[in-house]
Chain A
């Protein structure tokens, strides 16, 4: 069974640009959660999608948005990039609601903003 995949794995962008990250969950999983990981702030929850609906959102500005498609694949978008957005972005999939079941993490997308 294939694991969670994320594309691209590495990305370098310039301040002010926007970026879209993609996540394909494990087959059969309907929930996708996104996290930002930085050395200073640790692992922070961004949002969770289940059946194409955002179920919960973390404390991030509106520049961070996401969506989920009918095949459960999810995308995350960050507009007007700032230097502080440099981080490892992880997505995780689970069968149903993200907190009720074990989450399986993808390899991450390392975003560098210059």
Chain B
């Protein structure tokens, strides 16, 4: 069964610092999604990564996908307080299934 692991689970960082969230998954997939969730709110789509080597950037966030290593990263550059949220990766497109499998989530807190 497909498993998706994120680390770290919790991340507290100072404004202006850089950090990376890792998303590892256990079986072959060529579709990886990143979402953001603010407390008490729904999930907001951040990135859709559809092929090996895909890299996407939006503001201070950059996501990449390495399908051979079964690894996606979400890199945060010069963090600001507004980035405080929980970030989820989700793996989809695995053969024979029609569902996303979500990672455990990384709760990010950016300290001013």
Say whether B99 contacts A105, CB under 8 Å.
Answer: no
Q: Which residues of B contact A50 (CB under 8 A)?
A: 98
Say whether B42 contacts A99, CB under 8 Å.
Answer: no
Interface band, chain A = 20 to 34
The B contact surface, by secondary structure, is strand
Interface band, chain B = 20 to 34
Taken together as a complex, chains A and B put the C-alpha atoms of A99 and B101 apart, in Å, by 9
Q: Which residues of B contact A105 (CB under 8 A)?
A: 35, 42-45
Q: Is B88 positioned at the interface, with any CB of A under 8 Å from its CB?
A: yes
Say whether A99 contacts B105, CB under 8 Å.
Answer: no
Q: Mark out the residues of chain A between 22 and 81 whose CB falls within 8 Å of any chain B CB in the assembled complex.
A: 33, 35, 42-43, 45, 48, 50, 55-56, 58
Known contacts: A105-B43, A107-B41. The answer to whether A45 contacts B104 by CB under 8 A is: no
Say whether A107 contacts B48, CB under 8 Å.
Answer: no
What distance in Å separates the Cβ of B51 from its nearest Cβ neighbour in chain A?
A: 14
Segment from B10-18, B55-63, B72-80, B89-97 that makes contact with A: B89-97
Specify which of B44, B88, B93, B104 is in contact with A99 (CB 8 Å cutoff): B93
